[in-house]
Structure 1
Amino acid sequence: MSNSAYHIPRPIGRLLSMLPAYPGSVLFAQGLNATLSKLLPDDLRVSLRNKKIRINATDAHIAFDFIWDGNRFAACNRQAHPDLTISASAYDFLRLAKRQEDPDTLFFSRRLLMEGDTELALAVKNSLDAVDMPIFPFEKLVPPKLLQSVRHKMEQAGRRTRSADY
């Protein structure tokens, strides 16, 4: 998976690998519920039921384990052998979520790896390709005050940089 345009720096990846896995899986499952659960076709809901899935961000050294319980996505403890593991760099996952990259392109360039139940992997990939999903609204996940604060700090930094240029 070294073909990605961007990788999280190794020291940051090592730091992220020290975080406990379960809280991240809870947040990830909640994000899936907020954005994707209502869009899943019925046949995929049946195929996913009680299947343990892992999303593995290889460069960040983090993984999210979850299941579809029939009604929603729910975090689960790390499994020795999940039914399906989907691996890519964090950047490639971001590009997939924003619909800036095609899963087939990533798969055939070996930047997206699916391991485990191949029938389930194909059903997930085909269903997600077919879902008319809007571009993932990342800014809606960030609390408004935090987003406003970050924008303000960026504007201040930009003003300082511009004034230093003169």
Structure 2
Amino acid sequence: MALPEIVLPQWMGKIGSKLPVKPPRFVLVFTLNTMLKRGLLPADMSLFDGKKFEIDVLDVGVKVRFSANSEKFVDENFIGTPDLRLAANGIDFMRMLMREEDPDTLFFNRKLQIEGDTELGLMTKNLLDSVDWPFGKWFLNRGVS
């Protein structure tokens, strides 16, 4: 069942941008590292070593910044321009995670912005494509749409 086209009102994004970023960053980095440990995220971390990332959920107003070392993703904020920035509305990120849309389709439909290091962006896109997101199945098995 396809996810509905939901974009939060602009005023909600303004509120979201005022909230602390530490909790969502912690959850994202913890999830990525747990997936790494369990073999669910087939990442060669040497390729991400020293890289800085930004995930921008446009309609929610939340920007999550984190980095990576040769072993794991790191829960740290940084100053300056990220090596890779991925930006989309929350529903489009959900579509990627649930395999309803692939990153290429979202990018070419201008629903996913990818900025920064082209090679890093391609590696990250390929990594996203290769993951069998377990929580996508969790939502689908519960009839959440």
Compute the TM-score of the two structures, normalised by the length of structure 2.
0.81
The AA in structure 1 aligned to 2:135 is F
Aligned to 2:64: 64
Alignment of 1:79-98 (within 5 A): 79-98=79-98
| % identity of equivalent residues | 36
Deviations 1:4-35 (A, max 9, x none): 92211222211111112233211211122223
Q: Number of matched residues? A: 134
The equivalent of 1:5 in structure 2 is 5
Give, in whole Å, the separation in 2 of the partners of 1:29 and 1:16: 19
Q: What is the distance in 2 between the residues matched to 1:16 and 1:125?
A: 26
Find the aligned partners of 1:22 and 1:87 in 2 and give their Cα distance: 18
**Distance across 2 between alignment mates of 1:128 and 1:17:** 26
Equivalent residue number for residue 118 of structure 1: 118
Structure with greater helix share of residues: 1
Q: Secondary structure at the match of 2:66?
A: strand
CA distance in 1, matches of 2:113, 2:27: 23
The Cα RMSD (Å) is 2.2
Give the deviation of 1:136 after TM superposition: 2.5
Distance (Å, rounded) in 1 between the aligned partners of 2:76 and 2:46: 19
Q: State the AA in 2 paired with 1:24.
A: P
* Structure 1 residue 93, shift from structure 2 partner: 0.4
* Residue equivalent to 2:47: 47
Q: Give the Cα separation in 2 of the matches to 1:63 and 1:128.
A: 19
2:135 aligned partner = 136
Which sections of structure 2, spanning at least 5 residues, go unmatched?
140-145
Match of 1:106 in 2: 106
In structure 2, do the counterparts of structure 1 residues 108 and 10 end up closer, same or farther at CA, with 3 Å as the change threshold? same
Change (3 A) 1:134 1:26: closer
Between 1:102-111 and 1:28-37, the stretch displaced more is 28-37
Q: CA deviation at 1:75?
A: 1.6
Contact kept, 8 Å, 1:86 with 1:114, in 2: the verdict is: yes
